[in-house]
A and B are shown apart, each in its own frame.
Chain A
Amino acid sequence: MSTPNKISFLAPIKNWLLRNHIWVFFLVVFGAFSLASPYFLTVNNLSNVLTQSAFIGILAIGMTLVMINGEIDLSVGAVLALASALAIGLQDSIGVWPAVFCGLLSGVALGALNGTIIALSGIHSFIVTLGALIGVRGLVFIYTGEDALMVSDFSYTEYPEIYLGPLSITAMIFLGLAFLFQWILTSTRHGREAYSVGDNIEAAHDAGINVKRNKIINFTICGGLAAVAGILLSMRLGTAEPNAGKIWELWTIIAVVLGGVRLTGGYGTLWMTIGGVLTLAVMRNGLRLLSTPNYVELMVMGAVLIMALLLDHFLSGISRKKTS
């Protein structure tokens, strides 16, 4: 009598672990660095990690939505740079908050443009956003003229200095957005539709879902969130470099995939993404605390990503065998 009970009790946990293995991995990495460095497990350091992870994290939220749709957005790094350049560059002429609003608007507009082109033309999002990645970076350079823009009024850099205990406002915005969009994914019509579009686009279309609108909305959100990350970055740095956010789209994709979200679409949650983002951030931070040179970090990241992919490959192989 006790055995079947035990199975039914353990099964959901096992299932959850199979889906969210990133958190197990996170705990392992976290534990290892806690033992390896005395500076790691301090409130100050962890608060820093969370703040640093917020930028890639906010990009990753949008990327997750797009990936659930079965698409990809390579332009987030460039959109981030444009928003941060506009937020700083326009301040002197139109004031701080209008400038921030313009930066935000640029992200929303570029996201909507990407989504609209993808939906109307039927070109794969990889191509459309690869074009945007190259082109938007061109826009950034045209606007800044190759030089970094700097704020003239440094009170701008004090906005992110709001803390709730150890939590910075930047980290709070990241976590708040993650909760908000997880709620949207699980509890709204748009969220449910996003999964069905990614899972089977023909079936979704036949079921009466407006597939194009769903994608356009998700790309717009993705662009808008990239702009949010860019503005937060400009507040933190006080400058906007034309090369800001370069290859951040790769780090974002790495974080999201590390979390277990599938590139094929229809699968993934923001819990996975947060797991991936935090694991990446903890690894970067921990390696730096151990004063490993920069190249080790890059090599470890590459190796870990391959390992995560292998793990996911074999785990999904196991679960596939079980169901069949």
Chain B
Amino acid sequence: MFKQDMTALLRRHGLLFAFGIFLAGVALTTDTFLTVGNFLDVIRQVSITGMIAIGVTFVVITGRFDLSVGSMLTFLTVIVVDQHNVSGPFMAIIYVMIGGIVIGAINGLLIGFIGLNALIVTLAMLSFLQGLTLFYSGGANVNVQNAQNTWFAFFGRADLFGIPVPALIFILTAIVASFVLTRTTFGRQIFAVGGNETASKFSGIDTRKTIFFAYILSGLTTALAAIIMGSRVMGAQNTIGQGYELTVLAGIILGGTSLLGGSGGIWRTILGITMLGFIQNGLLLLGYPYYVQWLVTWVVIILAVWIDLGAKRGKVFA
């Protein structure tokens, strides 16, 4: 009986165990890993990816994609940094929030209301926003001019009660998002649309509106991430967010949210993103070059999803 429980447990959480073993291994071989400073560093690093991933989780649970978040992050970071110089930090933040909502709304309009394919629409948006970024910046890097004395530095660089502010914003957003997803009508509708779109339509849910608002949330959290990013770097290159859409999706998948929609959760996404963050951190501390983590990510994603799928279906092979 006990043995059966153990195998079931291993099957369900095998990946977590493997992750634990990896962490223990890194902790034993390096002195720096198991320190408060390092943990806070990791959390600070994952907070940007994590913020975006929270919004994208809503989209993914409706059974759709948002591949535009990477170039959206670039665009909005360039805007926030440049507008900081032009119209001050407060207005810069307002502009970026509006920007994120508008871009999300365009995605949501095309995908939710017109019913176009999400993959292609957000790919087109990716390309469009890359162009818009270059148009805005003229190809040059932008920098915050008075980086030493601006309260804008608070979002990316400051600590509050010994915890980095970006991490606090991340945790707070996660709590709010988790509440919205699990305890509100809108959240239940997100799950319903992803689970069975036709059924939710017949039960009176305005699926188009639900999808629309999911994309707006994705745009909004990306805008918040852009503020953190701009504040942390105090500048922006035209490629600063490149590839973030992939990391975000990898984290969401790793957490166990199904790309088919209808299942998932904020805490799963955070788990996935944090795991990626620790894998990256651990491999770097062990002295591997940064690109080794990509190889590890590949293996981990396939194993994680395969174990999850295998456990659900009760056998390893399809």
Which residues of A come within 8 Å of B, CB atoms?
A: 72, 117, 119-124, 126-128, 130-139, 141-142, 146, 250, 253-254, 257, 263, 293-303, 305-306, 309-310, 313
Contact present for B123 and A134 (CB under 8 Å): no
- Residues from chain B with a CB closer than 8 A to the CB of A122 are 309, 313, 317-318
Contact present for B116 and A309 (CB under 8 Å): yes
B301 within 8 A of A: yes
Contact of B135 among A128, A132, A138, A299 (CB under 8 A): A299
Which residues of B come within 8 Å of A, CB atoms?
A: 110, 114-117, 119-121, 123-135, 139, 246, 249-250, 253, 259-260, 289, 291-299, 301-302, 305-306, 309-310, 313, 317-318
Contact present for B128 and A302 (CB under 8 Å): yes
- Residues from chain A with a CB closer than 8 A to the CB of B295 are 135, 138-139, 142
Given A127-B259, A127-B305, A296-B131, A121 and B298 contact (CB-CB distance below 8 Å)? no
B52 to chain A, nearest CB (A): 16
Q: SS class of chain B's interface: helix, strand, loop or mixed?
A: helix
Given A121-B317, A294-B134, A295-B134, A138 and B123 contact (CB-CB distance below 8 Å)? no
Q: Give the distance in Å from the alpha carbon of A123 to the alpha carbon of B249 in the complex.
A: 15
A47 to chain B, nearest CB (A): 27
Contact present for A135 and B298 (CB under 8 Å): yes
Contact of A298 among B114, B116, B127, B296 (CB under 8 A): B127
Residue of B with least CB distance to A138: B294
Contact present for A298 and B131 (CB under 8 Å): yes
Contact of B127 among A141, A293, A305 (CB under 8 A): A305
Given A135-B294, A138-B291, A142-B292, A130 and B250 contact (CB-CB distance below 8 Å)? yes
Contact of B246 among A130, A296, A302, A309 (CB under 8 A): A130
Q: Give the distance in Å from the alpha carbon of A180 to the alpha carbon of B250 in the complex.
A: 36
- Residues from chain B with a CB closer than 8 A to the CB of A303 are 124, 128
Q: Give the distance in Å from the alpha carbon of A88 to the alpha carbon of B306 in the complex.
A: 35
Other CB < 8 Å A-B pairs besides A295-B131, A296-B135, A309-B124, 9 of them? A120-B318, A127-B302, A131-B301, A132-B298, A141-B291, A254-B120, A294-B134, A294-B139, A313-B114
- Residues from chain B with a CB closer than 8 A to the CB of A300 are 131
